[in-house]
């Protein structure tokens, strides 16, 4: 960030003016209080005021002390010129806090790149057995994924649990890498208008019947509607389709919740879960290690 990002032009002039007034003021003070050859009061004589029995004598500062003051003022000028000190001027060294941060990040990356290169040569499912790699993967997960999937990767409503064997898009090493690299977006269309209120209730009741529960509609009528409107994505047996990320509706694992109310809401309004792509944020080597960590959670 440069000064002009958050200040207007006049502020830079104002800052420079204040610095100059301070430094030149110090210089002037040193000059004004210097020892003068025509001083009527000689060294060591009384200046004529005393307080509480203490008398002020004319004892000028030692030379080395005075020179130290001059030196600090000169130092200030040099420092402010080398580093960005004068308003938004860049400084001779070209130093910026952002630049320093980038250099440090680069240095750290070069250091850890070696490990990631080594890991990259080992297949995801093999690497999942390495405690060291899993620890690294866990750290990457905490920094990039935990906000949505939870720090224990068990997910939340709308955010899938990554520790079970139930996969929307597939739990093979390749599928996990693909999910993290390119992201995913499940598209469940709103079906309320196509089904009508009773239709939605019937289909929801049919879905509840897979887990031996009763709903407020007619399961047989629901099955007929399911077979025309839902099978294309969820499959004839309602066990889902990993190509589309369509969930298995016959098990007790629910992405959005399995109560009659929530299932009805899902069918009425549709759902559109979004898993962001990480190919621009994480290198392929990091995604490789992260995938091993995810793989290790359910294997
Ligand atoms: C902004 C929230 C968010 C972040 C951050 C996020 N995810 Fe996801 N992730 C999701 C959602 C939502 C889904 C489900 C997508 C869907 O419904 O189609 C998902 C799906 C997945 C899946 C597929 C699960 C399955 O059953 O097939 C994997 C694997 C996954 N995420 C891993 C990760 C990893 C690893 C990270 C960190 C690099 C991450 N996610 C970061 C929201 C997120
Ligand atoms: C175009 C494909 C498609 C069609 C058609 C479709 N679905 Fe879906 N459905 C999906 C996808 C994809 C998801 C996951 C949404 C997500 O990841 O956000 C889903 C999610 C669901 C869920 C939520 C499951 C959970 O675990 O929370 C239910 C319930 C559901 N669908 C029921 C139905 C019913 C009933 C129909 C027919 C009336 C239907 N779907 C038609 C693709 C489809």
Encode pLDDT of 57-93 as tens digits.
888 888 899 899 999 999 999 999 999 989 888 899 9
Q: Is the pLDDT score of 3 beyond 80?
A: no
Q: In whole angstroms, what is the distance from residue 158 CA to residue 179 CA?
A: 16
Residues of the chain within CATH 1.10.760.10 domain(s) are 100-185+277-298, 192-272
Instruction: Confirm or reject: Cβ of 137 under 6 Å from ligand 2.
Output: no
Give the pLDDT score at 37. 77
pLDDT tens digits for 208-223? 999 999 999 999 999 9
pLDDT of residue 38: 80
For 34, 140, 188, 277, 291, the CA distances from 178, given in Å and listed in that order, are 77, 17, 21, 9, 9
Q: Which ligand is nearest to the CA of 233?
A: 2
3-state helix, strand, coil in the chain (%, to 5): 55, 5, 40
Helix (H, G, I), strand (E, B) or coil at 290: helix
Protein residue with its CA nearest to atom 36 in ligand 2: 230
Q: Which of 144, 147, 148, 154 to mutate to test the pocket of ligand 1 (most atoms within 8 A of CB)?
A: 148
- The angle at the Cα of 33, spanning 28 to 37, to the nearest 5 degrees, equals 120
Higher pLDDT, 111 or 191: 191
Ligand 1 pocket test, pick from 143, 144, 149 with the greatest ligand atom count within 8 Å of Cβ, gives 149
| Mean pLDDT (whole number) for 272-280 | 97
Protein residue whose Cα sits closest to atom 22 of ligand 1? 179
Hey, whose CA ends up nearest to atom 32 of ligand 1? 180
- Between CA 2 and CA 274 the distance in angstroms is 36
Average pLDDT over residues 143-170: 96
DSSP 248: P
- Write the burial class of residue 158 (CB in 10 Å: 0-12 exposed, 13-18 middle, 19+ buried): middle
Closest ligand to C-alpha of residue 286 is 1
User: Where do runs of H (alpha helix) occur along 83-172?
Assistant: 97-120, 124-127, 131-144, 146-149
For helices 192-210 and 219-229, what crossing angle results, to 10°?
Answer: 120
Query: Quick one: CATH architecture of 192-272?
Result: Orthogonal Bundle (1.10)
Phi, psi for 145 (deg, rounded to 5): -120, -25
7: confidence class by pLDDT, cuts 50, 70, 90 = low
Mean pLDDT of 107-133: 93
What spacing in Å lies between the alpha carbon of 277 and ligand 1's midpoint?
9
| Confidence band, pLDDT 50/70/90 cuts, at residue 172 | very high
Lowest mean pLDDT among 33-42, 254-263, 289-298: 33-42
140-144 long-range Cβ contacts below 8 angstroms, 24+ apart? 140/282, 140/286, 140/289, 140/290, 140/293, 141/290, 141/293, 141/294, 144/278, 144/281, 144/282, 144/290
Q: Measuring from atom 22 of ligand 2, which residue has the nearest CA?
A: 266
**What is the topology classification, in CATH, of domain 100-185+277-298?**
Cytochrome Bc1 Complex; Chain D, domain 2 (1.10.760)
Instruction: Report the distance separating Cα 130 and Cα 151, nearest Å.
Output: 20
- What is the number of H-type helices and E-type strands within the chain? 13, 4
**Position 2 pLDDT exceeds 60:** no
pLDDT at res. 49 = 85
DSSP 3-state of 51:
strand
Residue scoring higher pLDDT (163 or 12): 163
Q: Which residues contact 99 (CB under 8 A, 6 or more apart)?
A: none
Structure-model confidence comparison of residues 48 and 143, the more confident one: 143
Asked if residue 202 lies in contact with residue 225, where contact means CB atoms within 8 angstroms, the answer is yes
The pLDDT of residue 126: 97
Looking up tokens 């004529």, which residue turns up? 48
Best probe residue, ligand 1, of 134, 160, 286 (max atoms within 8 Å of C-beta) = 160
Among candidate residues 243, 197, 204, 246, the one with its CA nearest the CA of residue 223 = 204
């Amino acid at each position: 960030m440069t000064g002009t990002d958050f200040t207007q032009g006049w502020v830079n002039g104002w800052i420079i003016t204040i610095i100059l007034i301070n430094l030149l003021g110090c210089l002037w003070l040193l000059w004004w209080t210097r020892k003068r050859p025509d001083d009527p009061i000689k060294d060591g004589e009384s200046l004529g005021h005393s307080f509480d029995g203490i008398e002020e004598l004319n004892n000028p500062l030692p030379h080395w002390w005075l020179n130290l003051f001059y030196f600090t003022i000169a130092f200030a000028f040099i420092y402010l010129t080398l580093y960005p000190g004068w308003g938004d001027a860049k400084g001779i060294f070209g130093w910026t806090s952002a630049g320093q941060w980038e250099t440090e990040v680069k240095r750290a990356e070069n250091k850890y790149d070696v490990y990631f290169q080594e890991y990259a040569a080992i297949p995801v499912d093999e690497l999942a057995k390495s405690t060291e790699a899993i620890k690294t993967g866990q750290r990457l997960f905490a920094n990039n994924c935990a906000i949505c999937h939870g720090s224990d990767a068990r997910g939340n409503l709308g955010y899938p649990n990554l520790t079970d064997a139930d996969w929307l898009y597939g739990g093979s090493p390749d599928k996990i890498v693909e999910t993290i690299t390119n992201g995913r977006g499940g598209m469940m269309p709103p079906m309320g208008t196509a089904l009508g209120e009773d239709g939605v209730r019937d289909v929801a009741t049919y879905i509840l019947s897979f887990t031996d529960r009763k709903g407020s509609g007619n399961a047989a009528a629901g099955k007929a509607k399911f077979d025309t409107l839902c099978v294309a994505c969820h499959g004839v047996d309602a066990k889902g389709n990993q190509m589309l990320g369509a969930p298995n509706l016959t098990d007790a694992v629910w992405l959005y919740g399995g109560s009659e109310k929530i299932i009805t809401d899902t069918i009425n309004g549709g759902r559109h879960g979004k898993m962001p792509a990480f190919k621009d944020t994480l290198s392929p080597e990091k995604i490789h290690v992260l995938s091993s960590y995810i793989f290790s959670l359910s294997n």
